[in-house]
Amino acid sequence: MPNSVNVLFIGDIVGSYGRAVVKLLLPVLKRQLEVDLTVANGENAAHGYSLTEKIYLEFLDMGIDALTMGNHVWEKREVLNKIELFDRMVRPANYPPGTPGRDSLVVTVKDIRIGLINLLGRVFMPALDCPFQAAEKLLARLKEKTDVVILDFHAEATSEKCAMGYFLDGRAAAVIGTHTHVMTADERLLPNGTAYISDAGMVGARDSIIGMKKEQILKRFVTQLPEKFEPADAGPGLFNAVLLKIDPVKKKPLEIKRVQVVLESLNLDVADKINII
Catalytic positions are 72
Under 8 Å CB-to-CB from 11, ≥6 apart: which residues? 40, 41, 178, 181, 183, 199, 200, 201, 202, 203, 240, 241
What span, in angstroms and rounded, lies between the C-alpha atoms of 196 and 167? 12
The dihedral built from the CA positions of residue 160, 258, 152 and 58, taken in this order, carries a sign that is positive
What span, in angstroms and rounded, lies between the C-alpha atoms of 146 and 173? 11
Q: Which helix (H) or strand (E) holds 166?
A: helix 158-167
Strand partners, 246: 5, 253
Structural contact between residues 72 and 43, judged by C-beta atoms closer than 8 angstroms: yes
What span, in angstroms and rounded, lies between the C-alpha atoms of 67 and 91? 9
Candidates 129, 84, 117, 262; CA nearest to 183 is 262
Give the CA distances from residue 29 to residues 18, 33, 110, 131, 136, in Å, rounded to whole numbers and listed in that order: 15, 6, 19, 32, 34
Q: Which helix (H) or strand (E) holds 265?
A: none
